[in-house]
Amino acid sequence: MDQAEGLRNVIKSKNQNNVASARVITITSGKGGVGKSNLAVNLAVQFRKMGKKVIIFDADFGLANVEVMFNTIPKNNLSDVVFKGIPLTDVITEGPMDIGFISAGSGIISLNDLSEDQTHLLVRSITQLSGLCDVIIVDTGAGISNHVMDFVLASPEILLVATPEPSSITDSYSLLKALILNPAYNDKISSISLVANRLKNENEGETVYKKLDAVVNQFLNTQIDFAGGVPQDVNLEKAVRSQKIVSLEYPGSRSARAFEAIAKKLMDNGGHEKSRGFSIRTLFDSFMKK
């Protein structure tokens, strides 16, 4: 039995002993610059307004968009829990409205090299995280790199962000194709929903969704859902330029109301039926399969 298999077994046993867990929503995109991190932080704000405790897990190793929008630099990351023994609570940075924020840190990619003690420490920490909030939002990197696909493949609720630009739609289909045709993908476990961003009008969002859903249906023999759309909004642009969150700075703006509608739709769904019994620990198990 190798190191990775040993960690999977530890995680499996912990999952069996603790079914209750935070809801996990993973946000991804086929290309960068489409508003993925903006969606993450604004959904977090909207969920908090509904009274939900939220933690954002920034799994985008290449960029630090969430911390920029929170206007804060984390002192520690999840790698420090494993390699330095720092308590998980010291890794959670407090953002606006008491939204928790955790940076993965590049060292988390090397989990296969963990000792047995570090393995148990990681599992205990992840178990803690699952009990600290109601919703965990995972902000992945963009594209189809290995660590992005690992996160997305292991997720029960996937939000795919795309814009009406042809290149964004093409890149989104490429990501969906890589995801759905991956042997590890299981449509009985995962659900995929589109969030259309930077829309000129409401109909444009439906158009983007129908284009993607049609080709996914035809060539990949599956379907995606539509979570909603976010319009182009001068207030959103102003908020981004000033490193603010539009749902807090301009709560009555068109984009803030759109984020609210998406959050409400997700919450009204109550979490996809396929995700029942899933936990954040399951997500990290994906890193142990290499």
List the chain pLDDT tens, one digit each, 290 residues: 443 344 344 444 444 444 447 888 999 999 888 999 899 999 999 999 999 999 998 876 655 678 778 877 788 887 788 788 888 888 898 899 999 988 876 555 555 566 767 766 766 776 677 778 899 998 887 777 666 777 787 788 999 999 999 999 999 999 999 999 988 888 887 889 999 999 999 899 999 999 999 999 999 999 999 999 999 999 999 999 998 999 999 999 999 999 999 999 999 886 655 555 555 655 655 544 44
Does residue 187 lie in a domain region?
Answer: yes
Q: What is the pLDDT of residue 212?
A: 96
Does residue 243 lie in a domain region?
Answer: yes
CATH number at residue 215: 3.40.50.300
Does residue 282 lie in a domain region?
Answer: no
Does residue 15 lie in a domain region?
Answer: no
Does residue 172 lie in a domain region?
Answer: yes
Q: Which two tokens mark 84?
A: 């330095």
Does residue 100 lie in a domain region?
Answer: yes
How many domains does the chain fold into? 1
Does residue 103 lie in a domain region?
Answer: yes
Q: Which value, in Å, is the radius of gyration of the alpha carbons in the chain? A: 18
Does residue 63 lie in a domain region?
Answer: yes
- Provide the domain limits for residue 191: 28-273
